[in-house]
Amino acid sequence: MGIPGLTTFISNHSEHYLENYALHDTYLVIDGNSLGCQLYNWYARCNCAFGGDYDKYAQCVADFFNELFMCNVTPLVLIDGGCEDKKLKTVISRTNEKIGLASHFTLASQQRSKFFPLLIKEVFKDVMKEKGVRYTQCIFEADNTIAAIARILNCPVLSYDSDFYIYGSLYIPFSTWGNNVVPDPAGRGYMKLCKIYYVEKLFRAYNGLNQSLLPLAAILLGNDYVKQSTFRNFFRHLKLPRTGRKKYNEQQRRIDATFNWLRRHSLNQAVIEILSRLRKRERKHILNIIETIINGYINASLSVLHILDVPAENFSRANIQDTFRTYKFEGDIYNLTYIEEKSNEGNLSDDDNDIEKEITAILEEKEVISNESLVNNLPQWFINEFKLGKYPSYFIDLIIRKLYVCPTQVEDFLYVSSVVASLKIINVIYGLLISGIEGKRTCMEYMTRENKKIKRFQLEYDDNVLGCTLPSLFNLRELPIIIRRGILNTTLGIADENCIKEIPSNWTLYIATMKYWIDQQQESFKFNCHIYSLLLAMLFNIIDHKVGPYRNLNRFYHKFNKTVENIKYARRMRNYRPQYSIDTTVVNALHEVNADDCLIAASFFISNFETDQKMYLQPKRFNVTIVHGFAIFQNCLRHSMNLNALLGYPYEQTKVANMFNGTLLYNLCSNFKRRDDIEVYINLILQNSPSLLHLFNILLLKVKPLFYTALEKKASKCKKPKTKSYEKKESTTQEEDHETEAIKTCESTSEETFYDVNNSFSILGATQH
């Protein structure tokens, strides 16, 4: 989150502080939270408005690590854990800002600002697992550990956080990370061209400045933990350089003045000068902040180092010793003479963005000392698995603060927050987590939107599931897998495990979550278009696997158009009519899918990965109610995956990038809302891809009992909620271009083909046994 204006300051003087750098044959310590976000911002080219194009994002992350491997760079990725007290205010206030942004977000909005999808971290971790990237999750914030490990290994950090200009480690700002992978002139592989920051260059520019003073500069300049206005009187003392250049605004002048002032003082002298310009009643509190933040910069927990599997011979002993230092101010702060400075041009304006009283109250109630000792009493298996990145960071927040600041999604603000549907799952997660803590069991609190503002809610503590007391966290892993699976099934409303036994293992949790999601809806039939969309979209990963991940029709046609026409022609010549049985399993039907069928069906799916360009110019065409339904599902999926992980994976974890593409789902759902009979339409679309159609119908046959009346024929014509009736006309005009592609897919059907509406398998010429 960093220091305001410092990145701009360094960039404006890049010739002084940044050097061209060729990255190769080294370790690279990566700020995982920053990298995951920046790859999405700079390279992924995803649609934010529809909830997440996770397949595109996953490919972008994979490409990034492939480049590093080309250059013989070993990435070591560290991810943030629980929220520390000093950052809680920032997290809450920024969540409130995101709520405001989400309340009017449209497709056109993403041209101005990005909105991170809910499951971006899960996808980021999945790609790292697949690529064999070493990564770990810290118990709390990772920045100081990242910097310490980079110093120990004498290698660079990659991030986009201005705090790393302060830590003193080698630092590659992500803004300098281009597409420049070039051959090594020495003929030893490849190099990644970028720029690197050396703190020594800053020390040379400000003679006398040293590493011990830099954390104090961060405090004075106003990082996430201290308001700049706290030091208003102090800045009246500084003489800010005059405004000379256009880019040299007040904050840039303040940064220059701060470095210039600090270089003439020792750390203790500088602290005395700062405290002298504070009222006595403020000094103790501000000194505590100063000591905490300085020690946060210079001290680091290295308890995750072994997880990264770095050989000990690569460590620098001197740098390890430097990691363990503690700053403590020596002196009587109350005997310092107060100095009142006269106002001048350097006076700071009042901060107009005060955090709401609600947030202040939370900080007073929830404040704890954020360090790893707070979780030392938890089971060792839990700590180990958290550091392995198996759990989300909010698990630590629930344990130490009993507070969950819920992520924000783009959704329909005329309805309750999408997180509400997940509360039953969250309650079970919370119950399991605090079962390992001694003392009185109390309810947790969660923060999400009410209308367009963040609000705090209570979730009543319940330590049982359907009359059975939840087990203790300490013996959770000792329970048989069948018991742990039972906890998950009961939570998700799976009364009979047989109903999902025939589902492929990599789809089971996804389907079970769909059942839970639908059960939470008062009028489930209104979501049948969403259900069909989720089920049909599951086929796209199969097509990707057989054909390749094409997301542009022109590129696909350029490579495969002749091939597809040849396949169709050959099939007509031999009157191709494969026989498939209804009496089979989903797994068998999945194995029977052939590549030719995938090639024929691909154009329909690819056309639905593209957006209706009219929505950019006419934002009212964007149907946020459709997005809202999928936002609820994503929340349910996130928390069912989290519970599944906590229970030791009784089901195979869902690979989100293989299942969920928001743009595809939005387009399918918009299309289905215009259909009198969605199943007839899907059978028509897939009629020339019989093995895919067979798979879809077998899947539908197996899962329909889970959704009860949600997929009844009488409900197949989806209607808009009364509160959104003005959108009905708009939705009827949407996806016209995609419809054209669907019609193309249905062309060349054999004249002999007959489709019986009452038998979805008749188009396959299926035989029933």
Residue 174 main-chain phi, psi, to 5 deg: -60, -25
Which H or E element spans position 120? helix 120-131
Return all residues near 354 (Cβ < 8 A) that are at least 6 apart: none
Residue 129 · residue 19 · CB < 8 Å:
no
Tokens at residue 305, please? 């180092």
Return all residues near 667 (Cβ < 8 A) that are at least 6 apart: 608, 609, 610, 611, 612, 735, 738
In this prediction, residue 203 carries a pLDDT of: 96
In this prediction, residue 464 carries a pLDDT of: 77
Residue 619 · residue 106 · CB < 8 Å:
yes
Predicted structure pTM score: 0.90
| Domain ranges for the chain | 6-335, 371-478, 498-764
DSSP strands (E only) in 73-200: 73-79, 134-137, 157-159, 171-173, 181-183, 190-197
Residue 248 main-chain phi, psi, to 5 deg: -95, 70
Please tell me the CATH code under which domain 6-335 is placed.
3.40.50.1010
CB atoms within 10 A of CB 631: 28
Give the DSSP letter string of 463-493: -EETTEEPPPGGGGGGS-HHHHHHHHHHHHT
Tokens at residue 46, please? 């995803």
Q: What is the 3-state secondary structure (H, E, C) of 597-659?
A: HHHHHHHHHHHCCCCCCHHHHCHHHCCHHHHHHHHHHHHHHHHHHHHHHHCCCCCCCCCHHHH
Say how far apart CA 531 and CA 346 lie, in whole Å.
60
Tokens at residue 154, please? 């004498």
Closest Cα to residue 124, out of 395, 511, 419, 392?
Answer: 392
Query: Which phi-psi region, left, alpha or beta, contains residue 333 (left: φ > 0; alpha: ψ -120 to 50)?
Result: alpha
Residue 652 main-chain phi, psi, to 5 deg: -60, 135
Averaged pLDDT, groups of 10, the chain, 769 residues long: 86 93 96 97 93 96 97 97 85 92 90 92 98 96 93 95 93 92 89 96 95 91 71 79 64 90 92 88 86 82 86 64 70 80 50 53 62 77 96 95 95 96 96 79 90 91 78 93 94 88 94 96 90 97 95 95 96 92 93 96 96 88 96 98 98 97 97 94 96 96 88 54 40 46 45 41 44
